[in-house]
Chains A and B, each alone.
Chain A
Amino acid sequence: AQKVTQAQTEISVVEKEDVTLDCVYETRDTTYYLFWYKQPPSGELVFLIRRNSFDEQNEISGRYSWNFQKSTSSFNFTITASQVVDSAVYFCALRANNAGNMLTFGGGTRLMVKP
């Protein structure tokens, strides 16, 4: 069975602070894919990144960076110099190759960035 855990249900920061959202996953598959989605107040899930299990390189995109560590089954997401527009619920998700094509989502982390 696949499982994604986002232990932080809610995080509040002040603008310009850095913040890291944690994601821990469980799967028996050796080939899998990890994702982050953003759900702003408007409600639509926005795709942010996909990571393959065989590629442990970290990735940076502007103020966003992702740290994938297979040794700890974690795929953490860091926002540098947070902005009010970053306020949203962030979901980590897993797609395991031998477990169908669906995404298994974590419970989400609500990030509030205050001015």
Chain B
Amino acid sequence: GAGVSQSPSNKVTEKGKDVELRCDPISGHTALYWYRQSLGQGLEFLIYFQGNSAPDKSGLPSDRFSAERTGGSVSTLTIQRTQQEDSAVYLCASSPNSGVSSYEQYFGPGTRLTVT
């Protein structure tokens, strides 16, 4: 079946602009995660959605970052007033609802964000 998809694959933006990154999880997966991968910081957790529960936003680095998930499926990560330190690959992952395999996260190809 189809894996996690993300768009765009690459995004170049000017400092100060807002960007939106999109994630389509694997069909039927109820959990969705955003991570960021950068040279200096490695792979960092950003935010987690599970069904209709309130999201776990504990990894968001600043209030310029927000995310939403509509209809329990597609998610959008928004970065406002982008800064150069926001340049990174943003990865989305999803996992099934139940069973021990619900702990396995399946990743999309990522969106490479470059802030100039």
For A50, list chain B residues within 8 Å (CB). 100-101, 103-104
A25 contacts across to B, CB distance below 8 A = none
| B-side interface size class | 20 to 34
Query: In chain B, what residue has the closest Cβ to A46?
Result: B107
Per the 8 Å Cβ criterion, residues 87-102 of B in contact with A are 89, 91, 93, 100-101
Count A/B pairs, Cβ under 8 Å. 51
Are A44 and B42 in touch, CB under 8 angstroms? no
Docked-complex contact B42 and A108, CB < 8 angstroms: yes
Given contacts A35-B104, A52-B100, A102-B56, contact A43 B109 (CB under 8 A): yes
B78: Cβ under 8 A from any A Cβ: no
Question: Does A68 sit at the interface, judged by CB under 8 A?
Answer: no
Assess whether B65 is interfacial by the CB under 8 Å rule. no
Chain A residues closer than 8 Å to B110, beta-carbon distance: 43-44
Name the residue of chain A whose CB is nearest to the CB of B56: A100
Give every chain B residue within 8 A of A104 (Cβ-Cβ).
Answer: 45
Determine whether the beta carbon of B58 is less than 8 Å from that of A100: yes
Chain B residues within an 8 Å CB radius of A47: 104-107
- Closest residue of chain B to A6, judged by CB? B42
Tell me the smallest distance from the CB of B98 to a CB of chain A, in Å. Answer: 14
Cβ-neighbour of B42 out of A37, A43, A45, A105 (below 8 A) = A105
Query: Known: A43-B109, A44-B109. Is A102-B33 also a contact (CB below 8 A)?
Result: yes
Interface residues of A, count at CB 8 A: 22
Contact B109 A103 (CB under 8 A): no
A75 sits at the interface (CB 8 A): no
B108 at the interface (CB under 8 A from A): yes
- Given A35-B104, A47-B104, A91-B43, also A102-B109 (CB < 8 A): no
Cβ-defined contact, B42 with A42, below 8 A: no
The answer, yes or no, to whether A110 is at the interface (CB within 8 Å) is no
Chain A 43-60 interface residues, beta-carbon cutoff 8 Å to B: 43-47, 50, 52
Q: Is B79 in the interface zone, CB < 8 Å from A? A: no
Closest to B101 in A: A50
Chain B interface residues toward A at CB < 8 A? 31, 33, 35, 42-43, 45, 48, 50, 56, 58-59, 89, 91, 93, 100-101, 103-110
